[in-house]
Structure 1
Amino acid sequence: MKHLYNNTLGELVAFLQEEFQEPAFRGRQVFEWLYRHRVTTVEDMTNLSKTLRSRLAETTQLQTSREMTRQTSQVDGTIKFLIGFQDGVSVETVLMKHDYGHSVCVSTQVGCKMGCTFCASTLGGMIRQMTAGEMVEQLLYSQRHLDLKGDRVSSVVLMGSGEPMDNYDETMRFVDILHEPDGLNIGYRHITISTVGLVPGILRLADNPRPLTLAVSLHAPNDELRSAMMPVNKAYPIAKLMEACHYYHQQKGRRISFEYALVGGKNDRLDHARQLAALLKNLPCHVNLIPVNYVPERNLTRTSKDQITAFRMELERLGVNATVRREMGHDISAACGQLRAEHMMQT
């Protein structure tokens, strides 16, 4: 059956024209029902004829998932959803409230094969790719929750489980669906694509006309340390990664965000900060310093607050714009993939 959420507006219009000989405006009506009214069944699309609704119900599907559980932070209101799909897999999506609005963190794969040593998403490896429609479904759980308050999702980050550049085409289809003015109308500039450093994907995104925001998970300032923490560095070492980042900036004229998870005793010394500053010299960027989340299977040590402050101040002294990411949902399963990993252990 055709998954309606897996279609851009143009594809949905073409589908109704070709399959049901319906005029173009019917496709727009269906699209608006999906994203403006956010119905969960075809029967709710009341301005369509009963015959068309019946035929759509027989040949298409909307909801292919269910909410398995959710955790709500009592500290800042962050909500983490565990979403289950028909084939038995599950992924996480997170709704966060900021001063500038609400953001949603979406997973692009079930699990992850990148093997980063500090991340819960890689536990159990990568099972399969998410389709664009399945990514849309993840986001809609958050949007429907916000509908109850008369609010909306204002930005999206693809920083959940998985590597977006390893699922590039479906990821681009997903952002196009979000961007459509007749739908959720989320600007490209408010969508962030995060990568562990897949250079071909960064180069491809640089040549992509969509003005998306790029975030690179760096986490170490030299090849020896980064290869130990992130196996991807063996394929795309730092020199190649930085070359791709400079090309991205040249093509887009946009600042790049670098994610740097501080792990006690591994990458958090002041000389690491100096190496990082030298690496990022002459590249307009911003560094997000992330106190590593505790993951039982990883047994990592958290950098002290004083050392985090010293690391940030050293970067700023050397001319690098850096902030410590505000911790959200730290009283729930905060690490990416942690809620899913807990569920897998229980089942």
Structure 2
Amino acid sequence: MRWVHTFRFRVVVLAIATASALALAGCGSSADKTDNNSLSVQLSWFKNAQSGGWTTAITEGYLADEGFHNVDIRAGGPNVSTLTLLASGKADIAVATMDSYLQARDKGIPLTAVYNEFSTAPTGIFVKKSTGWTQWKDLANKTWTVAPIDLGWQWVKKSQGIDFKTQNFNGSNAAFMASPDAITQGYPTNTVYEARQHGFELNYLGYASAGFNPYGQILVVTKEFANKHKDELDRALRALSKGWTAYLTNVTAAKKANEQIIKDDDQLAADVNWFTWDAQRKYVIGTQGGKTMGAMTDSRWNQIVSQMKQMGALSQGFNATDLFDNEFVPDVKMPTIDQLPPAPAGVYQGPPPVL
């Protein structure tokens, strides 16, 4: 069985260096393709609820309605660098984290962000509820298990004025589950469900609560592709917004999409994926409820650029208007939390996540 592991903490340095080399070497570009009714999207992780908007756009026929006859939504994984593949012309659209995208831009890669799929990144720190620890100051002078290059815990140190030791996260929560007072990185989706399977309830401290709140997952294209394939991007993102709307609010559509996701990845447990579907919806919506789905703001980009510069993760500043383009975002309103239906009975064990 594969746990969802959404929004994994990525090692991006090698990927960005590779992407730089590819770009500078003048590798082929998807912008040169002639079939504007085909579409390739490179995911950052295996297919699961995190990419449910794309799956629903296929299963509900929204992409077909927009004229796409050949759609390839490609699974990612731990050894897949989406921006490398994008820069080398192997994909039209790539899914990336905001920080990895900014570091690629810092290296001079001519990319642009065109859509935001998660308004709030579901990334942060977990402790067992039995510890009684509920605030960042409670975790001072302890040892955290984290990815060494992740920026979230580094911002916590800086913004909260606390110190702690770190040890490298190896991709498994086994040690965390076995220790009564361990502290680890995780996701308020599958990590919560995994802990429940072991008989534990958790307290979650999201990095957003410490002031570090990048968009959770963005869609990136090369600048050349954005210039040459405006109509294609318009149509693809219109279908995607319809897909996300249905996946969030229509249980029948979510059932069909989740069945397809399990067919695409038979190592993914259906109950884990359903819990992730339920828990992630508040993060997809974030502060965007009732506003335009997928749209981004100058202020959010400027804040993250400033924070990354303060942490030494960027060597230069950027004008926010050069980092993203809302031109292709359709006029589709993000649902609000009160519009979300409950999960179907029996699709996962235990109580629902708090929305």
Q: TM-score range by the shorter chain?
A: under 0.3
Greater percentage in strand: 1
Structure number with the bigger relative contact order (C-alpha 8 A, sep ≥ 6) is 2
Greater CA radius of gyration, 1 or 2?
1
TM-score, normalised via structure 1 length: 0.21
TM-score, normalised via structure 2 length: 0.21
